[in-house]
């Protein structure tokens, strides 16, 4: 069994070196673990309690570590202060179509690159990979002009389309497709399956773990995207959640941290629920990608 299999199956594989760890070393390990969890957890806890505190309590010195009189008022106020319902809708739409486009394009490209003949296929692959080298951040001005010319400023298409092409995911899936047993693909073709059927009923089911990881990475990236939606939207009703929370902080800010933290939880909680549910796919998929690549 290869290393990546171990990681994908996620059995805790202990490093050979530390199997004979000393008790002192183990104690240091627990201390490091607890410290790290505290460093990550405390800011989130601080956000959580602020969201349930009355404004008076937030601005008392010293601040309390537990809300004295827990209240949901901040959540109601945050929902009132900004059109969060609309932000959710916009984020859902742009994320759903963004991910669907990326996954579809990655699957089609990876299938062609892995299984079809084409003269100088390596050059085509290189052309795709080279795109990895261009950070989207440096393309913002020309892309804004292109989207403006298409009349897509402040529209879903304007948010989604420029980010729909995908290089990294294509690369990941191509790797996953290439290790599929060739006999299985060949058998399907000999049985008379066309390319579409081979892809849908043979390749995709076998390569499912890689596909799920790729889809989740794409999901996280689209849901959190900030710079591009900030540039390409200009009215409140087209903003996505990350832009929305930025505006809420700017308008409430120092005046009312409780409301802003409640608004932050509107973003953090759904992501955390999804993450805890599928974290194995994300974390292990990322780890496997790094070790293989």
Residues 202-261 that bind other proteins (CB under 8 A): 220, 223-224, 226-227, 230-231, 241-243, 245-246, 249, 253-254, 257, 260-261
**Phi–psi pair at 179, nearest 5 degrees:** -90, 0
Task: Output 85 or 290, the one with its CB closest to other proteins.
Answer: 290
Instruction: Give the binding range for other proteins (CB under 8 A) out of 77-85, 173-181, 204-212, 279-287.
Output: 279-287
Q: Cβ closer to other proteins: 6 or 54?
A: 6
Of the pair 108, 184, the CB lying nearest other proteins is at: 108
Q: Report the alpha-carbon distance of residue 165 to residue 161 in Å, rounded.
A: 8
d(CA 59, CA 53): 10
Give how far Cα 63 sits from Cα of 70, 73, 226, Å: 14, 19, 32
Residue of 9, 28, 89, 184 that binds other proteins (CB under 8 A): 28
Which CB, 17 or 183, lies closer to other proteins? 17
**Does residue number 19 form part of the binding site for other proteins (CB under 8 A)?**
yes
The contact mask relative to other proteins for 91-110 (x = CB under 8 A, - = no) is --------------xx-xx-
Q: Applying CB under 8 A, does 61 fall inside the site for other proteins? A: yes
Residue 167 makes contact with other proteins by CB under 8 A:
yes
The interface mask with other proteins, positions 39-58, x = CB under 8 A, is xxxxxx-xx--x-------x
Residue 180: which of 158, 156, 216, 208 has the closest Cα?
Answer: 208
Give the residue from 53, 52, 83 showing the smallest Cα distance to 251: 83
* Residue 40 burial (10 A CB sphere; 0-12, 13-18, 19+): exposed
Q: Which of 140, 153, 157, 206 binds other proteins (CB under 8 A)?
A: 140
Choose between 201 and 279: whose C-beta lies nearer to other proteins.
Answer: 279
Question: Is the link from the previous residue into 133 a cis peptide, with omega within 30 of 0?
Answer: no
Q: Give Cα separations from 223 to 36, 88, 142, 165, 216 (angstroms).
A: 26, 10, 23, 16, 10
Nearer CB in complex with other proteins: 65/85 = 65
Q: Where are the beta strands (DSSP E) in 194-284?
A: none
Binding residues with other proteins: total (CB under 8 A) = 113
- What tokens appear for 114 in the block? 């892995």
Interacting stretch for other proteins, rule CB under 8 A, among 23-31, 71-79, 92-100, 174-182?
23-31
Q: 């939606």: which residue's tokens?
A: 229
123 lies in the site for other proteins, by CB under 8 A: no
The single residue among 67, 73, 77, 146 that binds other proteins, judged by CB under 8 A, is: 146
Dihedral in degrees, nearest 10, Cα atoms 281, 157, 162, 93:
-10
| Cβ at position 36, least distance to other proteins in Å | 6
The window from 67-75, 77-85, 92-100, 271-279 that contacts other proteins (CB under 8 A) reads: 271-279
CA–CA distance, 187 with 209 (Å, rounded to integer): 22
178 binds other proteins (CB under 8 A): no
């Amino acid at each position: 069994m290869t290393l990546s299999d171990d990681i994908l199956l996620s059995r805790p594989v202990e490093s050979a070196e530390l199997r004979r760890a000393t008790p002192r070393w183990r104690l240091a390990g627990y201390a490091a673990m607890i410290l790290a969890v505290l460093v990550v957890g405390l800011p989130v806890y601080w956000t959580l309690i602020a969201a349930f505190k009355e404004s008076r309590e937030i601005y008392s010195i010293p601040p309390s570590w537990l809300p004295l009189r827990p209240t949901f008022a901040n959540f109601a106020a945050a929902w009132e202060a900004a059109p969060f319902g609309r932000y959710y809708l916009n984020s859902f739409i742009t994320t759903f179509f963004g991910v669907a486009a990326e996954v579809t394009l990655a699957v089609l490209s990876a299938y062609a690159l892995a299984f079809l003949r084409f003269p100088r296929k390596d050059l085509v692959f290189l052309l795709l990979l080279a795109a990895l080298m261009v950070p989207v951040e440096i393309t913002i001005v020309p892309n804004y002009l292109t989207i403006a010319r298409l009349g897509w400023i402040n529209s879903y298409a304007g948010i989604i389309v420029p980010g729909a092409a995908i290089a990294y995911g294509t690369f990941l899936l191509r790797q996953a497709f290439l290790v599929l047993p060739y006999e299985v693909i060949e058998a399907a073709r000999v049985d008379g399956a066309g390319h579409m059927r081979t892809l849908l009923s043979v390749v995709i089911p076998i390569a499912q773990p890689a596909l799920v990881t790729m889809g989740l990475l794409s999901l996280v990236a689209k849901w959190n995207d900030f710079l591009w939606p900030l540039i390409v939207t200009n009215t409140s009703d087209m903003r996505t959640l990350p832009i929305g929370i930025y505006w809420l902080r700017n308008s409430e800010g120092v005046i009312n941290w409780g409301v802003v933290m409640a608004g932050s939880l509107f973003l953090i909680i759904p992501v955390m629920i999804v993450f805890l549910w599928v974290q194995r796919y994300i974390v292990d998929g990322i780890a496997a990608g790094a070790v293989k690549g």
